[in-house]
Amino acid sequence: MSPDGKLADRLRRLREAGMNGQPGRRESRQTSSENELSGWKRISGHVYSREKMYPSPFTADGEETFSAPFFSGSSGSIGNLVFYDLETTGLSTGAGVVAFLAGLGKLRNGKLVVKQFFLSDFPGEELFLSSIIEELEDESILVSYNGRTFDRHLLVSRSLMNRLVFPSLPEIDLLYLSRRLWKEHIPSCTLSSVEENILGVFRAHDVPGRDIPDLYFSFQKTARTDLLAGIFKHHLMDIVSLASLFQHIRFLWENPSRCRGGERYSLGRLMLHYGRVEGESLLMQVWEDGKSFSRKAGILLALYYKRLGRVDLSYPIWRRIWDSTEEPRCGIELAKYYEHGKKEYKKALEITQSMLNNPGNMQEKLLHRMNRLKRRINRTTGI
Amino acid sequence: MDTLELILKRLESDPRFMDSVTHWEKIPAQKGQYQPFPDDINPAIRNALRKKGITELYTHQAESYKAVMEGENIVVVTPTASGKSLCYNLPVIQQLIKKPASRALYLFPTKALSQDQQSELNSLVNEGELPLKVSTYDGDTPSSVRISARETGRIVISNPDMLHSGILPNHPKWIKFLGNLDFVVIDEIHTYTGIFGSHMTNLVRRLKRVSEFYGSSPQIICCSATIRNPKDLAERITESAVRLVDNNGAPSGSKNVILYNPPLVDAVQGIRRGVVLESKNVAVQFIKEKIKTIIFARSRVRAELIASYLRKALRNFFNEDNRTRVESYRGGYLPGERRGIERDLREGKIHGVVSTNALELGIDIGSLDAAVLAGIPSSISSVWQQVGRAGRRNTLSAAVIIASASPTDQYLVKNPDYFFSRSPESGLINPDNMYILMDHLKCAVFELPFAEGEEFGGPISDYMAILEEDGVVRYSGGKWFWADRSYPAEQISLRSSTPENIVIINTTAGRNEVIGEMDLPSAKELLFKNAVYIHRGEQFLSRELDLENKCCYVEASEFNYYTDSIVKTDIKLLQKDRQESRGGASILLGDVLVRSQVAKYKKLKFSTHENIGYGEIFLPEEEMHTRSAVILLKTGTPSGDAFQAVPEQLRERVLSKAGTLIKNAAPVFLLCSAHDIGIAERLKDLYEGYPALYLYDNAPGGTGLAEGFIHTADEIITAAFEMVKNCSCRRGCPSCIGAEDISGDENIKEEVIRFFTKWLGKDES
């Protein structure tokens, strides 16, 4: 509770004004004068739309297909993709946050066609949402950047509150894939960072995303449409980037050999995650290179082989890493391998004891293992 | 004869003990009053209850069931351990099984109570294999479990804070739940008073509003400890008609409740033996004979102190076999430690537990045989909750309530009627406190736009106009919409604005150690620069009170005086709402502006309280807009005439002492602490030119205490009088009018007594 001493005065002033029968209160409320937005078509009331065309990042037209990891393991048709993004009045997903700008990008006749819908004032929300929903078809596949936890959620909630049903469609969230591919290699995985560091696209005079809600509120209060131009452009660029990014990731997926350096490690990891065997050879290349990410690739591979029941393939990797770095994870795996697999208790003990020399948070487990090993050695040597 | 009975006999024949006992109430055992299960109860529930040993209902459970089935909102008032939760669980589960879409929301004021309820419900559901999912949804719920709680939880157990900041602002996620919400259970409703209670009404308004949006209108079931106005409080919180269910049918064993006032050490200054040592002495009597005993202390430090004294005292008797175990229990322990102590208590492995009020509410620790209250809790309902911790259905139990030197304790220990006849205290709230209302309107408009003409406890267009001026809502198309990027619930706390604490740092001889902390308002009065501050018996001098960095530097000192700050309060009546003749005075109610400043302090000599000098304090002034009752000592009314009879040179002091007494008496009747009430006196008030006492709500906007005061003015003023009249000191002490300079000629205490005697028309003898 903020003890705002002025609240009482303000309430009294309003009440006195009300009692004096001043009629002007209703008029004094600022409603946005519905200046025509140039280049936009007014659908009705407070809802506007427009279409923009861009060159398609895809080589062929809608018939082309793509495959996992993009969604549910099977392949989809490029023509069903809907690249979408929202601009909203806040960053939470609470009931008071509204989407006021929506863009849907689709491939039509070799072009990327982006349709934007704009909500100039809140009472138009139902129409705004139903216009978006109408653009979607049963076969549509949504593509977003952080849509799974934010944009999609907001569309579903706002629809519910307006007694509409937002269709349940599959969605590919490129944020998740970008993180898996690049989080070790670039400063952050925001869309703009991925654009700059991966796609090599630099936006000039872009409106920072965090300023957008306040610009919109200012527009509502002043009806100055010029405040919106930057938002509209930023939003279009986001959707164009989504399509390029989709194509870029798809290209890497289908042409792993074109990956460079650490990216090769990340793609290998991503492929193994989605059960693609090509991941193994990618990781093997990184491991054998002996350059950066080599050790990480080795550990991933060794675990992969272990899951397949091929500890014989894991063992040389663990051994090599352990000998050069005494990496604890490998030490433990080696100790397990010697103890349970090979029954070579002395070797296992040797590794465990050398790990105990380095203080760490596994002391208790290591001690436990050491004691057990000692018992086993005693038993086998018959003492 | 069992051990406890023998101990009680022994105490009763011990003249030294009995000298300190002001009252010994023997409450006879009560037989249970039962009714058969209603015919319509689902056989699975009946079966589950039977497995738990319940074959019939207590009368209050049966009545609750019937009333809820008839569609009524109810408030159930019964003592601790009377099978209260079945009053709501039975009808709720019955309906939930009958109607598979139906949902219920349970609100408890603390997480510990939620956990307790979750395990109780789980055991019922598991025993009966009932097709119901019970989910707890609070700050500790992992996010993976949250989704299933809202999607499939039939009964969701939560707390008001979570409803406020987690559930309501995200209501679209809860559509399945809120759209089928048929019951809301609000337990421990007596804890929702003051600021918290005022928030609670607004929270219920928001819950009803969102539920209505999704097409449901839940029935509300409240439970309360014994207070004077349970039905009224429940109706104020739910803003619906509520039926009172208070025909307690639960059996109880016989109980001895002993009021104990520690003996006087210094009769002149009214100093009594300390509550810590006395409690230890009493508790030892029980624990050394292996009577399971709980001791309630008023603070964490005291809990630890008493526990360590007890262990020391018991070491002589039992260290060899090491079978007597005493534990302390308080906030600040790790959850695991707490659960461990609770479990050992339930299993009877602990003989004595010393707790803060952390163990007062709900948490299942089984039954103990004796309770010792080291100091009287802030409310009588808490007294009974603590006393209720001792005693099983059919055995003898004992509770010893030990008074501290505080005026309220001293008053209550001498007036046992307040414990054993009707509860004196009313739970008060002010849901239309403008600040609280404004906070919730922000949250409500965030949740759903307001339509023109829509109400929220009352008309809201003024408030919306202000929010519009501030640019956070937008009026368009006949509705107000939230139009700001912030998430309002995040910035609003339902609990009384927890003031930031000042950390006390001891810098003696180059040291730099934290020795304690104090809330900000108290720090301004006790830790100002050059204040002599007593901390656990040691004397310190405040070197600097750094408000910006929230710390105070102190140094060990050895002065022969202590300091007492003088708070200068300037109070202005802004608007009068009404004026009534009550308690022999003319009392008006209205809005006031309170400006207060701690500007000076007195140096008072230890032991004589002689004033040996003044000092300046430099702290910023504070301003607050709140509600106040104003007692006008109008000429021609008994109060005014009594005041005119006071010698002129003493009037200011007598008025100030009368104010202190009224402030200290009020919490007995209004469910609040003395700190929640402010008092200011005026020899010549600006309003009508009479002497006046302002009794104001010490929270911005008011929490209903000023209104509550008007209704109980007669009783409070009489209690203030009795407080001073029945105090055994000679010239004033901290238990009545405050320590007084005993070197002067005038006896202020006698003047104050004379003034009240005349005011209330009591016999001078």
Tokens of B552: 């105070």
Highest mean pLDDT among A11-20, A30-39, B63-72: B63-72
Distance separating alpha carbons of residues B148 and B169, to the nearest angstrom: 18
Give the list of residues 6+ apart from residue B53 with CB closer than 8 angstroms, or none. Answer: none
To the nearest whole Å, the CA of B161 is away from the closest chain A CA by: 14
Do both A296 and A176 map to the same domain? no
Tokens of B383: 């007294």
CB pair distance less than 8 Å for B170 and A95: yes
CB pair distance less than 8 Å for B474 and A121: yes
Mean pLDDT of chain B: 89
Closest CA to B122 of B112, B135, B113: B135
Q: Give, for B566, the enclosing helix (H) or strand (E).
A: strand B561-582
pLDDT > 90? residue B210: yes
CB pair distance less than 8 Å for A94 and B195: no
Tokens of B326: 């005493």
Tokens of B300: 């964490």
Distance separating alpha carbons of residues B694 and A127, to the nearest angstrom: 57
A298 CB-contact burial (10 Å; exposed 0-12 / middle 13-18 / buried 19+): buried
Highest mean pLDDT among A66-70, B147-151, B355-359: B147-151
Tokens of A309: 């029941």
Q: Is B266 left (phi over 0), alpha (psi -120 to 50) or beta?
A: beta
Do both A149 and A220 map to the same domain? yes
Give the list of residues 6+ apart from residue A304 with CB closer than 8 angstroms, or none. Answer: A272, A280, A283
Nearest CB to B485 within list A25, A90, A220? A90
pLDDT band at A316 (very low <50, low <70, confident <90, very high): confident
% of chain B surpassing 70 pLDDT: 96
CATH of segment(s) B3-18+252-420:
3.40.50.300
Closest CA to B270 of B377, B416, B404, B413: B404
Q: Which of B146, B210, B481 is the best residue to mutate to test the A interface, defined by the most A CB atoms within 10 Å of its own CB?
A: B481
Average pLDDT score over residue span B572-576: 89
Q: What is the CA radius of gyration of chain B?
A: 27
Do both A220 and A352 map to the same domain? no
Do both A126 and A242 map to the same domain? yes
- Distance from the Cα of residue A308 to its chain's centroid: 30
Nearest CB to B465 within list A14, A91, A217? A14
By the 8 A CB rule, do A43 and A127 touch? yes
Do both A249 and A294 map to the same domain? no
How many independent structural domains does chain A possess? 2
What is the model's pLDDT at position A18?
A: 64
Distance separating alpha carbons of residues B630 and B432, to the nearest angstrom: 20
Do both A238 and A341 map to the same domain? no
Tokens of B711: 């209704």
CB pair distance less than 8 Å for A14 and B468: no
What is the model's pLDDT at position A34?
A: 52
Q: In this complex, is the C-beta atom of A7 within 8 Å of any C-beta atom belonging to chain B?
A: yes
The larger pLDDT score, comparing residue B364 to residue B195, is at B195
Question: Cβ atoms within 10 A of the Cβ of B620, count?
Answer: 9
The domains of chain B are located at: 3-18+252-420, 34-245, 434-490, 578-592+624-759
Strand arrangement, sheet containing B551-556: B513-519, B501-506, B551-556, B538-546, B532-535
Distance separating alpha carbons of residues A212 and A218, to the nearest angstrom: 10
List the single range of A156-170, A290-304, B437-451, B750-764 with lowest mean pLDDT: A290-304
Do both A64 and A195 map to the same domain? yes
How, if at all, do strands B513-519 and B501-506 pair?
Answer: antiparallel
What is the model's pLDDT at position A1?
A: 36
pLDDT digits (tens, 9 = 90+) for B701-732: 888 999 999 989 999 999 999 999 988 888 88
Do both A167 and A288 map to the same domain? no
pLDDT band at A72 (very low <50, low <70, confident <90, very high): low
- Closest residue in chain B to residue A9, using alpha carbons only: B625
The reply to whether domains B3-18+252-420 and B34-245 share a CATH topology is yes
Architecture of domain B34-245: 3-Layer(aba) Sandwich (3.40)
Q: In this complex, is the C-beta atom of A3 within 8 Å of any C-beta atom belonging to chain B?
A: yes
- Closest residue in chain B to residue A13, using alpha carbons only: B462
Q: What is the pTM of this model?
A: 0.85
Q: Give, for A242, the enclosing helix (H) or strand (E).
A: helix A229-254
pLDDT > 60? residue A28: no
Do both A272 and A216 map to the same domain? no
* DSSP for B672-689, written as a single string: S-GGGEEEEEESS-TTTS
Do both A248 and A262 map to the same domain? no
Secondary structure of B78-97 as H, E, C letters: CCCCCCHHHHHHHHHHHHHH
Looking up residue A318, the CATH number of its domain turns out to be 1.25.40.10
pLDDT band at B200 (very low <50, low <70, confident <90, very high): very high
Q: Which residue has the tokens 């005493």?
A: B326
By the 8 A CB rule, do A345 and A376 touch? yes
Alpha helices of B388-490 — where are they, by DSSP H? 407-414, 417-420, 434-447, 461-469
Q: What is the CA radius of gyration of chain A?
A: 29
A342 falls within a domain: yes
Highest mean pLDDT among A309-323, B137-151, B600-614: B137-151
Average pLDDT score over residue span A250-269: 85
Per the structure, the complete domain to which residue A333 belongs is given by 258-381
Which chain B residues contact residue A2 at CB under 8 A? 435
List the single range of A30-34, A149-153, B650-654 with lowest mean pLDDT: A30-34
Tokens of A189: 């995985």
Which chain B residues contact residue A217 at CB under 8 A? 471, 483-485
Give the list of residues 6+ apart from residue B418 with CB closer than 8 angstroms, or none. Answer: B380, B412, B424, B668
Which chain A residues contact residue B445 at CB under 8 A? 96
To the nearest whole Å, the CA of B173 is away from the closest chain A CA by: 7
pLDDT > 50? residue A4: no
CB pair distance less than 8 Å for A31 and B439: no
pLDDT band at A27 (very low <50, low <70, confident <90, very high): very low
Strand arrangement, sheet containing B473-476: B450-451, B479-482, B473-476
CB pair distance less than 8 Å for A7 and B466: yes
* DSSP for B329-356, written as a single string: E-TTS-HHHHHHHHHHHHTT--SEEEE-
ipTM of the complex as predicted = 0.81
To the nearest whole Å, the CA of A276 is away from the closest chain B CA by: 28
Do both A112 and A238 map to the same domain? yes
Do both A230 and A304 map to the same domain? no
What is the model's pLDDT at position A270?
A: 87
Report helix angle B651-669 to B713-725, nearest 10: 120
